[in-house]
């Protein structure tokens, strides 16, 4: 039940916004670090950003300034709000979390940005 579950992906036009959700079941979600990754077609998996218990958020590369990560501990959910989407944002987006020494990945949710 620790495995993250992503949702909210879909097909959108360039310039659109989209919010992804990641639900992480289990205890002590408020103490959990959660990160978003993405993997473009034929590409490697790259870090988008992350958020920790202190609500510190960081972003990487082209996502900076366009993407925002937040969390709702009451719902065991982390969000990735994406704005000004570009075709190059097309990827499978994965949620990732840590529990002790274990690493947990979601199944991914597809985001396609195309006109």
- How many whole angstroms separate alpha carbon 98 and alpha carbon 21? 17
- How many whole angstroms separate alpha carbon 31 and alpha carbon 83? 27
Here the tokens at position 108 are 């991914």
Answer yes or no: is pLDDT of 58 > 80: no
- How large is the C-alpha radius of gyration of the chain? 13
pLDDT in tens, 67-92: 999 999 999 999 999 999 999 999 99
Q: What is the DSSP letter of 91?
A: E
pLDDT in tens, 33-52: 999 999 999 999 999 999 99
What residues contact residue 5 under an 8 Å CB cut-off, 6+ apart? 22, 23, 24, 25, 95, 106, 107
If one compares 61 and 40, the residue with the highest pLDDT of the two is 40
Helices (DSSP H) in the chain: which residue ranges? Answer: none
Answer yes or no: is pLDDT of 101 > 80: yes
């Amino acid at each position: 039940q620790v495995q993250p579950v992503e949702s909210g992906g879909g097909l959108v036009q360039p310039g659109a916004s989209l919010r992804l959700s990641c639900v992480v079941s289990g205890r002590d979600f408020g103490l959990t670090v959660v990160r978003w990754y993405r993997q473009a077609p034929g590409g490697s998996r790259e870090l988008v950003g992350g958020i920790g218990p202190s609500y510190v958020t960081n972003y990487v590369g082209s996502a900076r300034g366009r993407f925002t990560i937040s969390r709702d501990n009451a719902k065991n959910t982390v969000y990735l709000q994406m704005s000004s989407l570009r075709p190059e944002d097309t990827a499978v987006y994965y949620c990732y979390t840590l529990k002790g020494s274990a690493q947990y990945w979601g199944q991914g949710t597809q985001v396609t940005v195309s006109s």
